[in-house]
Chains A and B, each alone.
Chain A
Amino acid sequence: MNEALIFDTVRTPRGKGKKSGSLNEVAPVQLAAKVLKSLESRNNLNTEDVDDVVLGCVHPIGEQGADIARTAVLEANWHQTVSGVQVDRFCASGLEAVNIAAAQVMSGQSSLSVGGGVESMSRVPLGSSGGAWMADPTVAYNSYFVPQGISADLLATKYNYSRNDVDSYAVSSQKRASEAWKDNRFKNSIIPVKDQNDLPILEVDEYMRPDTTMQSLGALDPSFEKMGEHGFDDIAILKYPEIESIKHVHHAGNSSGIVDGSAGVLIGNKEMADKYNLKARARIRSFASIGSEPTIMLTGPADSAEKALKKANMNVSDIDLFEMNEAFAAVVLRFMEALKVDHSKVNVNGGAIALGHPLGATGAIILGTVLDELERRDLSTGLITLCVGAGMGTATIIERV
C-alpha cells in the first residue's frame, strides 16, 4: 500500500452564518474555488497532475447542488482533466472527503488528490436538503428520529453532564480560540477571502466571543426545550426508558456556531512529492467510520476513534493531540470520558463552539488545525474525529513525517 502524504492544508476564515455575516456575499462555489486556487499557487502545481477533487457538502442543493466539487474545479480554472465529486457524511463530510482522497492515493488509483469541503450556511441554510430520515413517517418512526439538539441533551442527561459542566467547557473553548488567534497559530493554513479587486472581505474567524463568561452563558435559555415538548423528548425516552425526563442544557453558547467556510487538504504519493519538491508534512495512518445508535446519535466519535486506532495498531496514549469537533459541549465531554483523554490534549486551540462549524468543511479544517499545532509543538500524532448525524462517527489519524 502507498503512503498518503499530506502536503498542504488551507482554509478560509469562518464567517457568521447569517445575512450579516461577512461571507454571505460570497457564493459557496467561490469559497471552494479560492481554496483550490490557493493550493495550486502555494504548491506551484500543474493542475493536470491532480486526479480528483473530493469535497464535502451537506446541503448539495441550489447553488451548492449539481456537484459543487467539479463546479469549483472549473471555476478555479483548473485543468479540465481534473474530476470532482461531492460527498455527504453530514458533519464529517470534510474529513470523509480527505479520507476518500487518501484512499485513492493509498490504493494507487490517484497520485495527487484534494480532500476538503465547503458550506455556506448563510446562503443554503441548515436542513434545506430535507431527507427521508426525518420527514418520511415510516423512517422517522422506525429510527426514533429526534433532531440533533435533542440528542445532545439526551446525551448530557444520560451521562450526567450538568448545565455547569457544558457551560464551563464552552468558556474554555472561547478562551483557547482567542489565545490561538492572539498567538497567530492558524497562520499557516488560513487564506484571507478577497474580492476580484484584491480587497479583503474576511481575514479572521468572526464568530468568536472571547469575552464569554459563565455568567454571560448562564443568561441564555436552553435552545431545545420547546422542541422537546412537542414530542421529541417523548421519542428520546421511548428509546431510553431509563430516563425520567430530558435535561435541556444546550444553547447557542455551548453548541457549534453556524458559519460559512471552506477548506482543502492536498494529498499525494511520494512521486508527486519528488516531482514538485513538496515536503510531506504528515501521513495518514488510518481512518474509520462507524454507525452507532441513531437517537442519541452523537456517541460515534469514541467508537470511530477506537476503530481507527485499532487499524493503526495504536493506543489512545499514542496520540499527542486530538481534534474532536465541538458540535455540542456534551459530545466532547462524553468523548473524553469514554476514551479517558485529558482535556489538555483535546481541542487545544478551541473548536466549533468558539469558531463555528461550516458543516461540509469542518473535518478538513480541523485536520489542518491539529497538523499546524503538532508542528508548532513539535509533536507527532493527531486524531481528528467528528460526531455525525443519524448515529455515525468518522476518525482519521495522522502522523508527522
Chain B
Amino acid sequence: MNLNNIKLFVDEHNVANLSLQSNSILINEEFINDFIEAINFICNNKKIKGVIISSDQGKYDYDYDLNFLLSLTNAKAIFDFITKFSKTLRKLETIGKPIVSLIEGEIKLCGLEIILHSHYRIALDDSKTNFYFKNIKYSLIPSIGGSQRLPRLVGINESINLFLSNKILSAEEALKIKLIDEIVKEKEQLINAARHYIVNNPVSLQKWDNKKIQSNKLNPFSSQNLGYFISKNASLHANTADHYPSVKVLISSIYEGLNTDVNSGLKIEARHITWLIQNIETRSMIETTILHKSTEKIQEDIIQKFKSSFEENYAAEGVRLLINGVSAPLIENAGKRLDFNAGPLEIADSNEIQCVINHLDSTDAAVASLIRSMQKINRNGLSNDKGFYDYKKGIKHNIWPDLINLIPPSKIQPSIEEVETRLLYSSINNIFYNFIKHSAIKDPKICDLMLIKKIGFPFWTGGAFNWVKKYGIDFFNKKSNEYSKVFGSRFVVNPDILKILKSF
C-alpha cells in the first residue's frame, strides 16, 4: 500500500511494515486519513502477525499542523479531528498483536505520541537518536494520548517534568526511564530485534490494558501521589499565576486520566485540548511564535532601546501608582501576576531608581521629588543594597519599611485588576510609541515576537499588537483615552498605530 504519507507492505513472515514518510512533517487531515486507511488494512487482515512501525528517514520529526488546528474554531470540529486520530491509534494498540516501533534520529513530541501506542520500542543507540521535549507552557499539551500514556509508562512525576522541560534525551537515557524498551548498537539490528519481539510475543498488549498488572504507583490518591499532586498544583499555579492555561490543563489531564482507564483518559485529554485550542491566550502565543519568524534581523541596539524604554516606563508607572496612594505590595504583586520579570519597583531598583526620571513629564513633580528624597538618603537601588527594597548583598529581602512613611498608602485601595490594567496599558502604549519612533521594525508580528522573546513583555499576551487585537482595538483605544485624561499623554494612542492594528 502506497499512500502519500505512509508506505505499508506485509513481508514473508506476515509482519506488516508501516513506514511513515518524512515528507509529511505536519500532522493534518490528509496524514490522519492515510493513517486510518493503513490501520484499517492491518486490522482487517487476519494473516498479519505483528506490526513494525518505522519512519523512512529514521526521523519522527512530526508536529501538529498548528495553522490547521487554529483554523478550527468550532469545538466539535476540533474534538472530532483530535479523537479521529486518537481512536485509530487506540485501535491499533488494542489489536492484540505485537506492535513494535523502530526509532532513530530526531523524535519530537508528536512523533513520540505516535510511538507511545506501540507495545515495544527499540531505538538505535547513536548520537543522532534524541528525544526532544519542548515545554508545553507556551503551546499545546499532547493531544493524541501523550498525557495518558507517558505517565503510565515513566511515572507521574517524570512525565510532568518532561512535558514542562526542554530536555533532550539520548536513547540510553530514554531506556533508563523506560520510555523505550531496548537499544541496539547497529542499524541492521533494529529490524531483527523487532522480529524477535514479534515471534516471542504473538499476543501482546499494553501494560495499562493488562488486568493482571495492578499497580498502586499511578493511583492519584496513594499517599505519595496525593502529596505530590497537592504540592505540584500549588507550585505550577504559583509559577504561572493565572496565565499559561496549558500547564493547568496538562496536570488536570494527567490527574483526571489516572483516576480512570486509558479509554476515558483519552476522551478527557481530547476535551481538554479542544478547550485549549479555543483559549485566547493559547492562540495568541501560538500565532506569534508559529511562523518560525526570526528576530535575528533586528539589530541588537534596537532591541536594547525598546528594552530600556520599556523597563524605565514600567518602573515609572509603578512609582506613579505609589504617588497615587496604591500600596507597594499591591503594585509589585500586580506586576508579578501579569508575569513581568518582576514588580515595577524592583525593576526601578535593579536599573537604579534614577532611571525613572527619564520617563517623567510635567505632571510628575511628586514622582521626581520622591526619587530625590530617596537618593538623598542613599537609597539609589540595587547597587548599594537600598532602594524601594532592602537587599542583603544583592539579594532582595523586603520592601523598605519606611516607604509607607514617605508615601502613606490610601485607606481605600484599588483592586489588583485595576492596577494590572494600568501597568499593562502603560507598557503597551510605551511599545507603540517606540514602534513609531524607531521605525526599524516594520512588521508588528516581528515586533510582538521580539517583545515576548527578548524584552520581557508577558509571553501569554502573544505581544502588544496581538493582545490589543484579541481584546478589542476600540476598547483599548477608549480605555487609553480615559487614562490619558487622568494620568497624562503617555496613554494617547498614536493614530498610525490604530491604522496598523486595524490592518494587522
Contact = CB atoms under 8 A, between A and B. Distances in A.
> Do they bind each other?
yes
Contacts of A136: 229, 252, 255-256
B221 interface: yes
B328 interface: yes
B472 interface: no
**Most A C-beta atoms less than 10 A away, residue of B229, B237, B255:** B237
Contacts of B334: 241
Contacts of A230: 231, 234-235
The B interface, classified by DSSP as helix, strand, loop or mixed, is helix
Given A231-B238, A242-B327, A141 B333 contact: no
**B: contact size bracket:** 20 to 34
Contacts of A232: 234, 238
A241 B231 contact: no
Contacts of A237: 333
A239 to B, nearest CB: 10
Nearest to A147: B230
Contacts, number: 85
A134 B230 contact: yes
B242 A238 contact: yes
B229 A242 contact: no
B95 interface: no
B241 interface: yes
Interface string A115-158: 00000000000011010001111101100111100000000000
A292 B339 CA distance: 29
Given A242-B327, A242-B329, A242-B413, A138 B252 contact: yes
Contacts of B333: 237-238, 241-242
B64 to A, nearest CB: 23
Interface string B223-258: 100100111011111110110000010011001100
A201 B220 CA distance: 38
Contacts of B252: 136-138
A179 interface: no
B330 A146 contact: no
Contact of A135 (B235, B255, B399): B255
A244 B399 CA distance: 8
A224 B435 CA distance: 48
A252 interface: no
A243 B329 contact: yes
B332 interface: yes
Given A130-B221, A245-B398, A235 B413 contact: no
Interface residues of A, number: 26
Interface in A242-276: 242-245
Contact of A231 (B226, B237, B332): B237
A134 B330 CA distance: 27
Interface string B38-62: 0000000000000000000000000
B398 A140 contact: no
A367 B370 CA distance: 57
Interface in B205-225: 220-221, 223
A316 to B, nearest CB: 26
Contacts of B233: 134-135, 137, 140-141, 145
Contacts of B399: 244
B337 interface: yes
Contacts of A137: 229, 233, 236, 248, 251-252, 255
A94 B251 CA distance: 35
Contacts of B223: 128
Contacts of A140: 229-230, 233-234, 237
A40 interface: no
A234 interface: yes
A147 B233 CA distance: 12
B257 to A, nearest CB: 12
A185 B235 CA distance: 47
Contacts of B330: 241-242
Contacts of A141: 233, 237, 248
Nearest to B409: A242
A242 B398 CA distance: 14
B283 to A, nearest CB: 20
Contacts of B328: 244
Nearest to A244: B329
A73 to B, nearest CB: 29
Interface string B135-160: 00000000000000000000000000
B416 interface: yes
Contact of B234 (A127, A130, A138, A231): A231
B234 A146 contact: yes
A135 B329 contact: no
Contacts of B226: 127, 130, 135
B329 A238 contact: no
Contacts of B220: 135
Contacts of B416: 241
B243 to A, nearest CB: 11
Nearest to B329: A244
A171 B184 CA distance: 69
A238 B234 contact: no
A243 to B, nearest CB: 6
Nearest to A144: B237
B238 A238 contact: yes
A231 B248 CA distance: 15
Nearest to B239: A231
A128 B248 CA distance: 25
A244 B398 contact: yes
A345 B119 CA distance: 70
Contacts of B229: 134-137, 140
A127 to B, nearest CB: 8
B161 to A, nearest CB: 15
Contacts of B413: 242
A127 B223 CA distance: 9
Given A137-B252, A137-B255, A231 B235 contact: yes
B407 to A, nearest CB: 15
A253 to B, nearest CB: 25
Nearest to A140: B233
Contacts of B327: 242
Contacts of A135: 220-221, 226, 229-230, 233, 255
A134 B236 CA distance: 14
Contacts of B239: 231
Nearest to A150: B234
Nearest to A146: B234
Contacts of A144: 237
B401 to A, nearest CB: 10
A241 to B, nearest CB: 4
Contact of A235 (B221, B234, B256, B332): B234
Contacts of B248: 137-138, 141
Interface of B: 220-221, 223, 226, 229-231, 233-239, 241-242, 248, 251-252, 255-256, 327-330, 332-334, 337, 398-399, 413, 416
11 contacts: A135-B226, A135-B230, A137-B233, A138-B252, A138-B256, A140-B234, A141-B237, A146-B234, A230-B235, A241-B334, A244-B328
The 7 A-B residue pairs whose C-beta atoms are closest, nearest first, are A234-B238, A231-B234, A231-B235, A241-B333, A231-B238, A244-B329, A140-B233
Interface of A: 127-128, 130, 134-138, 140-141, 144-147, 230-232, 234-235, 237-238, 241-245
Given A140-B229, A241-B330, 5 more contacts: A135-B226, A137-B251, A138-B248, A231-B231, A242-B413
